[in-house]
Structure formats: C-alpha cells, structure tokens
Structure 1
Amino acid sequence: MRFNWNWDYMKASKYFYGFSIALAIVGMICVSIFGLNYGVDFRSGSNVDVNLTKQVSQAQIQSLLDSQGIGEDVDYTPGNERFGIRFSEVLTDQQVNQLKTAFNSKLDQGASFEVNTVDTEMAKELERNAIYAVLIACVAIAIFVSIRFEWRFAIAAIVSLLHDAILVIAIFAIFRLEIDLTFITAILTIVGFSINDTIVIFDRIRENLRFAKKKSKADLAAIVNQSIAQTMTRSLATVFTVFIASVCLLIFGGASIRMFSLSMVIGLLFGAYSSIFIAAPLWLGLKSKQKPPAAKAAKPVNP
C-alpha cells in the first residue's frame, strides 16, 4: 500500500526551527563553558591501543600505570578484546617500552600494542585542516548549487548543511563525546548525504515551478509541500538504508570507529529533517520576498 505523504510541511517547519535553535544554543553554552572533548588527533599526547588475549579490567590497568608513574591524566576506551589508553602528554620511547614490558609481564603476556603520538604543532595543523576541509566542501557545494539552480537554493542548502554539522557538534559538546579525525570524516559524509536529499527536493521544486501558473507565497508553499511529498519515499529509503548500516557499525564495530558510527547515526537523523524542514522553508522565505518582474511598457503604434 502506498503511503500518502501529503502534509503541510511548511507549517510544521517552525517547530523544527525552534528545536534546532534551542539545541544549538545549548551546545554553544556547553562549548563556551567546557570546550570540546578533543581526541589525541587534535591535542598533543599519545594514544596506546592494546590488543588483548584475555580479560583485563580498567582498575588493573590504572594500578599498573600508577606503579609506572605515568597515570596522572589518562582516559580509557574499553572494547571487545581491545583497550585504548589516551595520555595527555607525549610518551617518550623509554616510557612506551616501560609500559609494554610491565603490561606483558603483569597483565597479559600475549598483548600487542599500537602507539600513536601527536605533538602540539601537528595537533594544531590537523585542527586547522579539518576546519578548512569542512569550509571548502561547503563553498564548493554553494558554487555548484548556484550554477545548477539559483543563489536562493544555494543559501538554503548551505544553511541546511551547517545546521547538520552544528547540531552534531552540539550533541558531542553536551555529552562530552570525543572528537577525533573520524568525527570530521563523519561530518563530511553527512554533508554529502544531506546535500543529496536537498538537491532531490530542490530539483522537484524547480520542475513543479515550470508548470505553476500562480506564484504567490501560498502557491509557492503548496508547490514546496507537493515536491516534498513526491520525493519523501525516495529520501526516507536512502537515509534509512545508510542509518541501518551506521547502527550496525556502532553496535558491532570496534572502538576505533565508534565515534565515526555515532556521528553518522546522529547526523543522519538531523539531515533527514533538515532538507525538508530547514532548507525548503528557507528557500520559500527567500523566494517569497522576490519582487515580481516589472511589466514591459507597450510600444506606441505608429499611424
């Protein structure tokens, strides 16, 4: 049975605008007070991933680190047969070898280690490049949409993309979730899926505009609602497919991609409604303020 998607989406958009603005404000407050919980990729330090051959508790590892004198500021990320230990300071080769020897002799003889170290300059460069990547992606999308459609579509699309990114960052700031390079990868992936849904809706709006005779605000709102209803099945099918894959990665994936999977799950939820309730209503508001073209004066007929 085919579901009837006909609904006044433009009227309901004000509630989604309110929710998004409120969540963004709460996120900004958390960022200003607590800052973001950067991973080792964006701040100097060392990250030690330990592959285990038997169960080892966090208390045992903390006790081992305390005995070695390198456990002052350590974050733990437990996983199935894998344990991540993040140090806020850069470990020297001597400290790394000391940790490996102590771990193998006291906790797990068959454990293997992977050590990643980021110094201060590299952390700043990674943070700067991540910001550049997101900005360049948004600018490139704005140029493409402006050429393919018009500038009003481009503004609406960019606001929608920034909306998705800001709300994901807000969730991570509120719940103090770790932000690393996989998080940036997830943001760029979310931007790609979100602009895909937005372009599909915009293309249908442009197509329906060609056959519309009246162009008042009420007529434009009806066209937008009709366009969204016509593309709803396709949009939800696309998002739902990727959402299920992301949830499976979150549940069954390893600790190293957990933040990526979680970012995708959250971002897909926000992106699912941003194209409908953020981008389309914003375009409608911009388009309704467009002045109608002036009528050309009739040329006098020569006797």
Structure 2
Amino acid sequence: MAVGFAQWGNDLYTGRRSYNIVGRKRLWFTISLSLVAICTILLVKPGLNPGIEFRGGSEFVISGVSTSEQKLATDTLMAFAPEEIPRVTTVGSSSLRIQTAQLDNAQVEKASVALAAAFNVPATQITSNFVGPSWGQDVSSKAIRGLVVFLVLLAIVLTVYFRHWRMAAAALLALFHDLIITVGIYAAVGWEVTPATVIGFLTILGYSIYDTVVVFDKVRENTIGVLDQSRFTYAEKANLAINQTLVRSINTSVVALLPVSGILFIGAFVLGAGTLRDIALALFVGMTIGAFSSIFLATPFEVLLRDREPKLREHTAKVMANRAKAGSGDEVGAAAVGRATAQLRPGSHQGNSAQPRRRK
C-alpha cells in the first residue's frame, strides 16, 4: 500500500497520472456555493450558541454527582431565573455545569443551597461565579479587529510575493469560504461558542492560507514564461501544479487531523464539555474544509480570474489553434503538460519508456 501510494504520488508529480481539477471548476464552485449557502442559513437559524463569556450570567458547578440528573438541575434553578431556561452540560464524568441568567448575590446563595439540597451534596461541592457580558464583548471586538488587520496584511504580502493581486484575491476567497463553513457547522452542532472556539476559528485561517500558498507557489513556478511558448495553456500548467502538490496536501491534512481527532473525541466523550472539545471541533472542521479549498477552490478561482486577461485569452486561443492544426486535440490538459515536463527533467525516461536505450 505504501509503495502504491508513493508510486501514485510520483506519477502525479511527473504527469504520468493527472486529474483535471481546474477543468471541472464549475463543479467545485457549485459544491462550495452550496455549502456556503447552507452554512449561512444555519448561522441565521438556529444560529450560534454564545457561551456565558459572551452573553454574561451566573454559573454553578456541582461536583461528585450523576451527570444524568440534568433535568433536576434545570428545575431547581428555574425557580430563581424563570425568564431563561438554564443550560446544563457535563464536565467530566461526575460534574454538572449550570449556566443561567444573571443572579444577584442573595439569589446565588439561595440557589447554591437549593442545589445542594436537591442533589444531596455538601455546599462545598458547589461553586458559583458571575461573568459579565462586557468581557465577551471586549474579546469579540478585539478578535474582529485582529481578523481585519490580518486580512489586510495578508492581501498585501500575497500581492507583493506573487506579484499579482489575483492570487491574493483567490486566497482570501478560500479563507472566507473556510471560515463561513466552519462557523456554520459549529452552529449546526449547537455547542457553545467560547473563547477557545474563537481561537480555533482564528487558527484555521493560518492553516488554510499556508496550504493555499504552497499550491500557489507551485503554480507560479510552473507558469513562469507561459506566454513565451505555445504548447500549453495557463490553466493546464496550473492544473499540473495542483496535481504535483496533491500528495503533500493530503499528507499534511491527515497528519494534522489525527491528533485533532483524538482531542475532539476525548474531549467530547471522556472529558465532557470544555476547552478541548470547543477548540478541537473548530480545528477539525476548519482543517478539513481548508484542505478542500486549497485544492479545489483557490487555484481554479485564480485561473478563472486570469482567463479574463486579454493576453492569456489570446494565448489560449493560439495554443488550441496549434493543436487543431497538428491534429493533437486529444493530448490536452495537465497530463500533456506532465509528459512534457517529465521529458525535460534530467534522468527521466518516461517520455520514451517504450523505446529502451541501445548500448553503444
């Protein structure tokens, strides 16, 4: 299996095997737009579930009790804050966390006594605290400002590095695509949005742009001087770049997702609600969607933008006309680019593998 995968990756890099990803860009765009539309609807209804750090309120933690008695906790606190249904979650295997609307000091003391009596535990096993909504608002505003600054600097750096604004635009599109889908899926799951969740959302931006930049760097390398030849189009050479980095993208994604998956399942099924679970879900979804966008969305969109340039349109028409005259219309796409690349690569004989060399 390892040898087969390695051979598959080598075939992709040399062009012996190729997938026409850029040529099917309409399919990938349709899939991405559908996912974005669904996740946008999910952000409206049911919407995100902000944690106590963002909406404010009182919180009680009961230790050493059965986690199956959540209804008892809800009924007990409903008497003190009937305007809001308490949110009860498990913490580990023997603790319950109850969040409710803001209570004053007297109500907090009475609620603690009522919970201790209801669960038949000492008052020392119940802790309470209050979180004001201003803290969450401050975190949200700083996160938004940081995101805007990050996107502006990213657009400038990518434009300067790749010497073309279209690659920067495609990378930013992939970032928004990943962020919207990740937040939408988080809203569908219904888990609380905590500061750890926000950190996870911001982290996936860095992962997504890293994967996209690697692919774009190969696109730039393959397309240098593309207008100086008349055998292959810009789209074909860009498609070859995707195929050449496909194995690297898969390996990087799998290696990154394995520990995140472990954290997610341990956090969800062993440790209960908490920081690990919140950040792991955001990372798991974001890394998965980021791998998809870097392969199937960023480069096809960049090619779509470049195809609007008059010089590239003329060049593409010229390449197609030359093929029609030569009668080689069947040898199009990234596979043709790969075969030519392999023939020019020192030490590679796959271009004439059917003709063994004769010894002199």
**Normalising by the residue count of structure 2, what TM-score does the alignment of the two structures yield?**
0.72
Q: CA RMSD in A?
A: 2.7
* 2:182 is equivalent to residue 168 of structure 1: yes
1:98 equivalent in alignment to 2:110: yes
Equivalent pairs counted in the alignment come to: 290
Partner-residue secondary structure (3-state), 1:41: helix
Q: Residues 285 and 105 from structure 1, CA distance in 2 versus in 1: closer, same or farther, beyond 3 angstroms? A: same
Partners of 2:127 and 2:24 in 1: how far apart? 53
Unaligned runs of 5+ in 1: 295-303
2:204 equivalent in structure 1: 190
Please report how far the alpha carbon of residue 228 of structure 1 lies from its aligned counterpart in structure 2 after TM superposition. 1.4
Distance, in Å, in 2 between the alignment partners of 1:164 and 1:142 is: 17
Question: Quick check: 1:53 aligned with 2:64?
Answer: yes
Alignment equivalent of 1:289, drawn from 283, 304, 308 = 308
SS of structure 1 residue aligned to 2:88: strand
- Alpha carbons of structure 1 residues 174 and 192: separation in structure 2 relative to 1, 3 Å: same
Of 240, 252, 256 in structure 1, the residue corresponding to residue 254 of structure 2 is 240
When residues 122 and 79 of structure 1 are mapped into structure 2, their CA distance, relative to the original with a 3 A threshold, is closer
- Are residues 1:277 and 2:266 paired? no
Unaligned runs of 5+ in 2: 13-17, 315-360
Q: Distance in 2 between matches of 1:125 and 1:140?
A: 23
Q: Look up the equivalent residue of 1:224 and give its one-letter code.
A: A
- Hey, what's the Cα distance between the residues in 1 that align with 2:226 and 2:88? 59
Q: In the superposition, relative to structure 1, how do residues 54 and 122 fare at CA in structure 2: closer, same or farther (>3 Å)?
A: closer
SS at match of 2:54: coil
Report the equivalent of 1:85. 98
Corresponding residue for residue 300 of structure 1: none
**Are 2:80 and 2:111, in contact at CA under 8 Å, matched by a contact in 1?**
no
Q: Is the contact made by 1:12 and 1:277 (CA closer than 8 Å) also made in structure 2?
A: no
In the other structure, the counterpart of 2:25 is: 13
CA contact (8 A) 2:218 2:241 kept: yes
**Structure 1 position 211, deviation (Å):** 5.9
CA distance in structure 2 between the partners assigned to 1:125 and 1:217 by the alignment: 57
Deviations 1:59-95 (A, max 9, x none): 23223324x52364211222423322221x2222333
The alpha-carbon deviation at position 161 of structure 1 amounts to 0.4
Question: Using the alignment, how far apart are the partners of 2:170 and 2:202 within structure 1?
Answer: 18
1:70 aligns with 2:81: yes
| Alpha-carbon contact 2:76-2:115 (below 8 Å) kept | yes
CA–CA distance in 2 between the matches of 1:9 and 1:230? 12
1:157 maps to which residue? 171
Q: Bigger shift: 246-255 or 99-108?
A: 99-108
CA contact (8 A) 2:56 2:130 kept: no
Tell whether the 8 Å contact from 2:204 to 2:283 is kept in structure 1 after alignment. yes
Supply the distance in 2 between the matched residues of 1:97 and 1:216 (Cα, whole angstroms).
Answer: 81
In the alignment, which residue of structure 2 is the partner of 1:209? 223
Partner AA of 2:252 in structure 1: T
Aligned amino acid, residue 285 of structure 2: I
**Which of 265, 275, 293 is the matching residue for 2:284?**
265
Between 1:209-218 and 1:275-284, the stretch displaced more is 209-218
| Whole-angstrom CA distance in 1 between matches of 2:131 and 2:55 | 10
- Whether the 8 Å CA contact 2:74–2:87 is kept in 1: the answer is no
Q: Which residue identity is paired with 1:36?
A: L
Scaled by the length of structure 1, the TM-score of the pair is: 0.85
Between the aligned partners of 1:167 and 1:218, the Cα distance in structure 2 is: 35
How far apart are the structure 2 equivalents of 1:184 and 1:24?
19
Q: Give the structure with higher Rg (CA).
A: 2
Looking at structure 1, the residues matched to 165 and 59 of structure 2 have their Cα atoms a distance apart, in angstroms, of: 45
User: How many Å apart are 1:153 and its aligned residue?
Assistant: 1.1
Amino acid at match of 1:208: N
1:211–1:238: structure 2 CA closer, same or farther, 3 Å change rule? Answer: same
Post-superposition Cα deviations, 1:134-175, rounded to whole Å, max 9, x if no partner, equal 222222221211121121111111110011001112223344
State the SS of the aligned residue for 2:252. Answer: helix
**Aligned-partner Cα distance in 2 for 1:220–1:143:** 24
Q: 1:61 to 1:23 in 2, by over 3 A?
A: same
Q: Tell me the equivalent position of 2:144.
A: 131
Which stretch shows the higher mean deviation, 170-179 or 8-17?
Answer: 170-179
> Does the alignment pair 1:256 with 2:274?
yes
